[in-house]
Amino acid sequence: PQDGKTALETARTPNLDALARNGALGLTDPIFPGITPGSGPGHISLFGYDPMVYQIGRGIMEAFGVGMDVTDRDIATRANFATLKDGKIIDRRAGRPPTERNRALIALLSEQIQRIDGVEVRLCSGEEHRFVVVFRGDDLDDRIEDADPGEEGQPAKPAIAKVPEAQRTADIVNKFIARVTEILKDEEPTNSCLVRGFARDPNLPRMSDLFQLNPACVAVYPMYKGLAKLVGMAILPTQIDDTIRDQFHVVREHWNQHDFFFIHIKKIDSYGEDGNFDNRVHVLEDVDEALPELLALQPDVLAVAGDHSTPPSLKAHSWHPVPFLLHGEWVRIDDTTAFGETQCGHGGLGRFPAMFAMPQMLGHALKLDKFGA
Amino acid sequence: PQDGKTALETARTPNLDALARNGALGLTDPIFPGITPGSGPGHISLFGYDPMVYQIGRGIMEAFGVGMDVTDRDIATRANFATLKDGKIIDRRAGRPPTERNRALIALLSEQIQRIDGVEVRLCSGEEHRFVVVFRGDDLDDRIEDADPGEEGQPAKPAIAKVPEAQRTADIVNKFIARVTEILKDEEPTNSCLVRGFARDPNLPRMSDLFQLNPACVAVYPMYKGLAKLVGMAILPTQIDDTIRDQFHVVREHWNQHDFFFIHIKKIDSYGEDGNFDNRVHVLEDVDEALPELLALQPDVLAVAGDHSTPPSLKAHSWHPVPFLLHGEWVRIDDTTAFGETQCGHGGLGRFPAMFAMPQMLGHALKLDKFGA
């Protein structure tokens, strides 16, 4: 707003500010300076993984977003309803159908297409024209070019195998598109589909192997539960409409069963994407108000972090470095007095790649051995 | 202490503070954020080497610690006196014998075991149960598993070659252990030994080759002289009880023979490990008081650095980022006013890997060429 303060700096957050005074602040770069991360790399970097090495395909992220499971035998893809006319794709989003229409079409397709050549086909609606297809079977391969001409007025493009091993999977995808186009032939504008972002489980090493932790996730949105599952976290039970206080209660109930808790607060991000500065401020104040319940558990180390910035003025994820707060017995206290972007910019932790948040949390919890003699 | 200040922030250091005002501060990470370094990687990163690439084995560090030379033909190992009973190691530290007893046993063993299969065996006492064995000969190989069961109540474990080329060395080590056990058979509890940490000279590139420097070391403790020798520094003559002022005098005497001086002040670290906050403060004040003698030499660049933090409250090396001060004609002066961890946290140099200290020193001394056209 006019006063130049961010939502975090505008919010009244006495508890977070007290943690800043008794802890240390810094700024993280999720990928590297200037790069805007998606939610996948934004999170796995905070989980201690190099996001340039461990990449999570779009199909997997979409499947997580709608709450689908993905196993080692699956290829997940993002799909659109599209409008086909005279062999050409004339609308890649099929006129953005209402989500209810999408649901009805997916129900119909799910009934009619359950298997292709022995491969299980699972469908799930997204918003408007979007849906997710997961192919489950043996020896599938995700090295396939998008079945999407990329622009309108072009002929429909089949899935094309990039390597011979992916030919069978590409054939199955093309049979799927043909079946959809056959079933929906009288449903213009939603009379065909595009399928893209072919991706399998990236087989990330588990946090239990990497860090000897027994980690748990307390998130309410499917995408973040999916990401947590990818790195081997236990997914603790939550409801989509849980409050922040509810989430903290879940942590408390499982406090003795795990030694690492990832608590994901969704709405700070959502209100940023909506450009709703005031509500963003309110959610931050809600976090602050509920915080004593978490602090009462006396964690060895508490880190308050973000997977990316989402300035309400930009209404999107951004590349700006992200506030980071570290609190715990062994933290060297800096001279910051409140949790906010400006103070984070001269905190004692400096600016660092987000993938180094995890070793710092572990170090301050006295969980790491010395390197070298 | 109660006021939240570190020893460096508590110490009265008007000369260092003046350097901060006329120079720039920052924080270094010896390895990467969160990781506690041993003295080996802590130092070689400050010497400009990537500590993840150039690793120095434990046996080498132990040999340096007791002041033994290590050449290209040597395998250095760390050893313990141990108690053997009915074929089992029942005490891995042989009841922690007095160091004098250790010295007497090593004198006896040195006399009786001088060569095995043509390989020279050199022994040196450490504290209590610890000693160092250096094997010197041709074609020795350090790829050997520790001859140490790792826990008590287990059978004695021989040295085992990890690769066929190390078989001969493993055989010699096992003959050594057999000889020791034979000679000490009536000396229970110090009637056997464990040998581990097999390591050879890592053959680091020399600083003269890397940086075209003619560097010299002014340290009083053997370990740091050993590390300096590894990177090709000349070791200037010092006594173990030299004062800081004495060390600065050694620099002055050799000022025209070298263009880089590594001056190691041991006691700041020692008092940290002892948890002696007050004495740590006093040593820092001693450094400050003697500093004008060093400044009188008018170095082009002066860097004040540490190989790791050693918080007296932790009584051990730690992962915390380390204060760094840079002073010289071409340093861009920041707005810091005193040398201490908090001000380093918002100094003009920011937080950076310690291996970049050396290129920054060289750069500010106008000793580096432009990279690229």
The 8-class DSSP code of residue B33 comes to: T
Pairwise CA distance, residues B4 & B27, whole Å: 18
Provide the token pair at A91.
């609308």
Q: What residues of B are in contact with residue A349 (Cβ under 8 Å)?
A: 33, 321, 345, 351
Its ipTM equals 0.89
Provide the token pair at A35.
């790069």
Closest Cβ–Cβ partner in B6, B41, B350 for A371: B41
Give the confidence band of B2 by pLDDT, cuts at 50, 70, 90: low
Closest Cβ–Cβ partner in B34, B40, B197 for A356: B34
Q: What does the pLDDT average to over B20-26? A: 98
Binary contact (A350, B27; C-beta < 8 A):
yes
| Nearest-neighbour CA in chain B from A81: distance (Å) | 47
| Nearest-neighbour CA in chain B from A257: distance (Å) | 25
Give the confidence band of B183 by pLDDT, cuts at 50, 70, 90: very high
Q: What residues of A are in contact with residue B341 (Cβ under 8 Å)?
A: 332, 348
Structure confidence by residue, pLDDT tens digits, A223-265: 999 999 999 999 999 999 999 999 999 999 999 999 999 999 9
Q: Look up the pTM and report it.
A: 0.91
Provide the token pair at B297.
């030499």
Residue B222: asked if its preceding bond is cis (omega within 30°), the reply is no
Q: What does the pLDDT average to over A133-147? A: 97
Structure confidence by residue, pLDDT tens digits, A318-344: 999 999 999 999 999 999 999 999 999
- Judged against a pLDDT cut of 90, whether residue A1 lies above it is answered with no
Pairwise CA distance, residues B256 & B294, whole Å: 14
Pairwise CA distance, residues A177 & A156, whole Å: 10
Which chain B residue has its CA at the smallest distance from A351's CA? B351
- Work out whether strand B260-263 and strand A234-235 pair parallel, antiparallel, or are unpaired: unpaired
Pairwise CA distance, residues A127 & A224, whole Å: 18
Residue located via tokens 């709608």: A66
| Of B223, B179, B227, B174, the residue nearest B198 (C-alpha) | B174
Q: For residue A131, how many C-alpha atoms fall within 13 Å in the half-sphere facing its CB?
A: 32
Which chain B residue has its CA at the smallest distance from A370's CA? B36
| Nearest-neighbour CA in chain A from B321: distance (Å) | 8
Structure confidence by residue, pLDDT tens digits, B130-182: 999 999 999 999 999 999 999 999 999 999 999 999 999 999 999 999 999 99
Task: Encode A135-169: b = buried (16+ Cβ within 10 Å), e = exposed.
Answer: bbbeebbbebebbbbeeeeeebbebebeeeebebb
Contacts A–B by Cβ distance under 8 A? 93
- Judged against a pLDDT cut of 70, whether residue B1 lies above it is answered with no
Provide the token pair at A77.
């893809």
| Nearest-neighbour CA in chain A from B317: distance (Å) | 8
Which chain B residue has its CA at the smallest distance from A332's CA? B320
Closest Cβ–Cβ partner in A332, A351, A356 for B320: A332
Helix (H) or strand (E) run with residue B76 in it: strand B74-85
Which chain A residue has its CA at the smallest distance from B26's CA? A350
The residue of A331, A332, A368 whose CB has the most chain B CBs within 10 angstroms, and thus the best one to mutate to test that interface, is: A332
